[in-house]
Amino acid sequence: MSFDHYPKIDIPFDVRYTCLFCGEPSNSDVNIPFSADDIHNAPHDPLSVPACTECTSVVKAARCQSIYQYRNAVKAALTRKYQKVLSIGSNWTEQELQESEFEGAAFEGFKRSAWMMFTMTKERVNYAGWPLCVDGIPLAADDEAGGFTFDGTDFVSVEHAIEHYIKTFHLDAILLPELVKALGKDKFGYAVRVSRLYLGITGSERMQIIADIVEAQTEV
C-alpha cells in the first residue's frame, strides 16, 4: 500500500462531498493517520476520509493514531476557536436576542446573525459523521469513547467543557473544576451556576465556598 493512497472510507450517497469531521462541504481527502510514522501505532488500518480545509489543517497539526482521536482533536479545536460564538447560546436565548434593544449598525448586525452563527457552529461541533466502514467492513468501535454533553453541545470530555465555560463566563479557573470534582459531572450545571456567583475570589474564600457547597449537597 502506498503511503500516498490510503483506502477511502465508504461514503453514503447523501453525504458525498461532506467533511467527516464537521459536516461542511469537503475539499479533499486526508490520510488517517496523517503521519506515516504513526501507522504502526494505529488501532485500525490506514484510511482516507473527506474533510474541509479547516478540519484538514487540524488533522495535519495533530499527532494522533486513530480516526477517533482525530475526531476528538478536531472537535476540541473547533470548540476553542469558536468559543465566543458558542457562548452566544449560553448568554441568550433566540427570543432574547430578537427582543434585545441593541442600537447602532454593528449591534443590529449582531442581533440579526448571532443566533444563526451559534446554531451553525454548534451543528459543526456536534456533527457525528456516519458509520465508518471500508469496503463494507465496519471499523472497530472506539474503545476510548467518552465525551460529555451539556446544554446541547458535545464536548470531548468534561475537562474540555470546564475549559470552555471558564472562558465563556470568565470564571475562577480553580473553583469550577474543584466543584465538578466534588459534586460529580451530573451536577455540572449547578457547578457552573455557583461559579458564576463568585468571581475574583481569594484562595481562602474559594476553599470555604467549596466546603459550604459540598456540605449543603450532603444534607440534601
pLDDT in tens, 36-78: 888 888 888 899 999 999 999 999 999 898 999 999 999 999 9
Percent of the chain residues past pLDDT 90, beyond the cut: 73
Q: End-to-end CA distance of the chain, in Å?
A: 61
Residue 47 within any structural domain of the chain = no
Residue 211 within any structural domain of the chain = yes
Q: Is the distance from CB of 74 to CB of 22 less than 8 angstroms?
A: yes
**Total tally of structural domains belonging to the chain:** 1
Q: How far apart are CA 27 and CA 35, in angstroms?
A: 20
Is the pLDDT assigned to residue 168 strictly greater than 50? yes
Residue 158 within any structural domain of the chain = no
* DSSP 8-state symbol, 26: P
Is the pLDDT assigned to residue 11 strictly greater than 90? yes
Residue 215 sits in which domain range?
172-220
Residue 163 within any structural domain of the chain = no
Cis before 46 (ω within 30):
no
pTM for this entry = 0.85
Looking at residue 56, its pLDDT comes to 97
Residue 69 within any structural domain of the chain = no
Residue 196 within any structural domain of the chain = yes
Residue 207 within any structural domain of the chain = yes
* Cross-strand pairs, 148: 155
Residue 117 within any structural domain of the chain = no
pLDDT in tens, 120-166: 999 999 999 999 999 999 998 776 667 899 999 999 999 999 999 99
Q: How far apart are CA 118 and CA 203, in angstroms?
A: 35
